[in-house]
Structure 1
Amino acid sequence: MAAKIKLDIETMKCISLFGKITKVTAKDCFKQDKKLIFIVDEGKAGMAVGKKGANIKKLEKLLNKKVKIIEQSDDLIEFVKNVIYPLKAKEISENEGIVTIVPIDNKTRGYLIGREASNLRNYEEVVKRYFDIEELKVSQS
């Protein structure tokens, strides 16, 4: 991963609180719109979420923000799957820096793109933070 990430004091506090509540070390934390996104090691997302989402609920209450947890992966395709989770894709491919997501149906396509492509741009921002890509696109299902 080509990630050169600088963390400010507020971010460090969020990561510390995340670790205390979830018992999982966050690799990264950043704000996106009104949401806090935490990146955790592969296989640690379930533990970070907690039983019935208990850890997420506790964090959201303490931080007064929505929280999303994404599993880190060194594989671009796997990382994109993790970023768009819980949405599913029929296929994800990369060609010359353009990552194309083929959704399973039109409803999923709508969720992936979002109003005025806001969801898609947010996903793209997260992926670009770790991988050198040009664009994230959603094709017809």
Structure 2
Amino acid sequence: MRVTLSDEARQLIALFEDETDVAARDCLVDEAFDRLVFVVPAGEMGKAIGPGGRVVRRVEQRVGRSVELVEDADTAADFVANALSPAAVYNVTVSENDSTVAYAEVASEDRGVAIGSDGKTIHRARELAKRHFDVDDVQLT
């Protein structure tokens, strides 16, 4: 699926790339939680974060917002698992009937982490899964 970026998102990706030397694949400007979520290529997460989180903190200072990173994946199931991080996701099943729903199996002790405070982690997973894999909803099991 092709992701359409706003001018603001393109500018933020350019800034992110200048600071991290990582080519972000997407930037979700999440006004509801006053944060930016960058999708980084698989294997580039450590470089984007930097030693002790220094690189991503520098990006946060430049943009004046919280910055979160999600690692890209080839499949919807793997992508949803990455988007729910840092929760431990055991399995993701994608069901395609009238709508496409990803069911993520999360340990009961990690359920709160997968939801996030005020639902921000599950919101991130839903928004990004829709943008990248046309998944209509993400549910925890």
Q: TM-score range by the shorter chain?
A: 0.7 to 0.9
Shift, 1:114, TM fit: 4.1
Q: CA RMSD in A?
A: 1.7
Over 3 Å counting, the alpha-carbon distance change for 1:112 and 1:7 in structure 2 is same
Deviations 1:8-66 (A, max 9, x none): 1x222211111111111111112112110111111111111101111111111111111
Report the identity percentage.
26
Contact 2:83 2:125 in 1 (8 A): yes
Report the counterpart of residue 102 of structure 2 in structure 1: 99
Report the counterpart of residue 18 of structure 1 in structure 2: 16
Match of 2:25 among 18, 24, 27: 27
| Distance in 2 of aligned mates of 1:115 and 1:56 | 21
- Report SS of the residue matched to 1:42: coil
Match of 2:121 among 97, 115, 119: 119
Deviations 1:54-97 (A, max 9, x none): 11111111111110111111211111121111111122111222
| Distance in 1 of aligned mates of 2:118 and 2:51 | 34
Aligned pairs (5 A) from 1:1-141: 2-8=1-7, 10-32=8-30, 33-96=33-96, 97-105=100-108, 107-114=109-116, 117-139=119-141
Question: Where does the alignment leave 5 or more consecutive residues of structure 2 unmatched?
Answer: none
Question: Where does the alignment leave 5 or more consecutive residues of structure 1 unmatched?
Answer: none
- Report SS of the residue matched to 1:26: coil
TM-score by length of 1: 0.86
| Distance in 2 of aligned mates of 1:132 and 1:62 | 32
| Distance in 2 of aligned mates of 1:130 and 1:112 | 19
